[in-house]
């Protein structure tokens, strides 16, 4: 809820400042132009990214491709959300140079939030096992072995 409130306050401040500076009509045209330009940029980047994913990735490129996928998706959502500030931020995330600059920050945030998901090597490593604290609650049942029945005893008739 706080994030939405911050979004609304920032977008309203940008629209009011822009309308008082260049006028209401130009502000509406600028909002519509930013939205259309952002959609065109999002479409081209989505197609480009899908071609990259379909062409095949090496193991070294996989982490960058996943981070780029997240950034392209986030940029597309921000472009579609109404507002000039969100559209500008989304367009920046859709541009390849700014994605390359944001990639280490996004990777670090993901590593901090979910350390076992970032690398496959951390799941089976000694560090991963040391962090986990799994306890199994149960009870011990004592089992007594019964000696086998001897075959030389007479059997009951059938």
Reading phi first (left if > 0) and then psi (alpha if -120 to 50, else beta), residue 141 is in beta
Distance, CA of 93 to CA of 102 (rounded, Å): 8
Task: Report how far apart, in Å, the C-alpha atoms of 110 and of each of 28, 100, 123, 135 are.
Answer: 37, 16, 15, 27
Choose among 134, 120, 70: nearest CA to 99: 70
Q: Are 57 and 65 in contact (CB under 8 A)?
A: yes
Alpha carbon 47 to its chain centroid, in Å, reads: 20
Interatomic CA distance for residues 79 and 77, integer angstroms:
5
Q: Between 4 and 52, name the one with better pLDDT.
A: 4
The answer to whether the predicted template modeling score (pTM) of the entire model surpasses 0.75 is: no
Average pLDDT along the chain: 78
Q: Are 38 and 91 in contact (CB under 8 A)?
A: yes
Total length of the chain: 158
What does the pLDDT look like over 76-101, one tens digit per residue? Answer: 888 888 888 888 888 888 888 888 88
- What is the per-residue pLDDT across 9-60, written as a single tens digit (0 to 9) for each? 999 999 999 999 999 999 999 888 888 888 888 888 888 878 877 777 676 6
138 has a pLDDT exceeding 80: no
pLDDT of residue 65: 77
**Cβ-proximal residues to 76 (8 Å cutoff; 6+ apart), any chain:** 42, 45, 46, 90, 94
If one counts every other C-beta atom within 10 angstroms of the C-beta of residue 148, the result is 6
Q: What pLDDT, on a 0 to 100 scale, did the predictor assign at position 123? A: 45
**Model confidence at 127: pLDDT above 70:** no
| Mean pLDDT of the 65-83 span | 84
> CA-based angle 112:72:60, to the nearest 5?
60
What is the per-residue pLDDT for 96? 84
């Amino acid at each position: 809820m706080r994030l939405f409130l911050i979004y609304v306050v920032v977008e309203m401040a940008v629209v009011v400042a822009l309308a008082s500076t260049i006028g209401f009509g130009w502000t509406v045209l600028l909002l519509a132009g930013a939205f259309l330009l952002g959609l065109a940029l999002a479409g081209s980047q989505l197609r480009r990214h899908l071609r990259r994913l379909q062409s095949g990735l090496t193991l070294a490129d996989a982490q960058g491709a996943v981070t780029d996928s997240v950034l392209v998706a986030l940029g597309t959502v921000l472009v579609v959300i109404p507002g000039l500030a969100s559209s500008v931020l989304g367009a920046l995330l859709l541009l390849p140079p700014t994605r390359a600059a944001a990639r280490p920050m996004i990777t670090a945030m993901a590593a901090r939030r979910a350390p076992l998901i970032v690398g496959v090597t951390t799941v089976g490593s000694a560090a991963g096992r040391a962090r986990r604290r799994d306890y199994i609650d149960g009870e011990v049942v004592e089992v007594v072995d019964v000696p086998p029945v001897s075959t030389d005893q007479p059997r009951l008739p059938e």
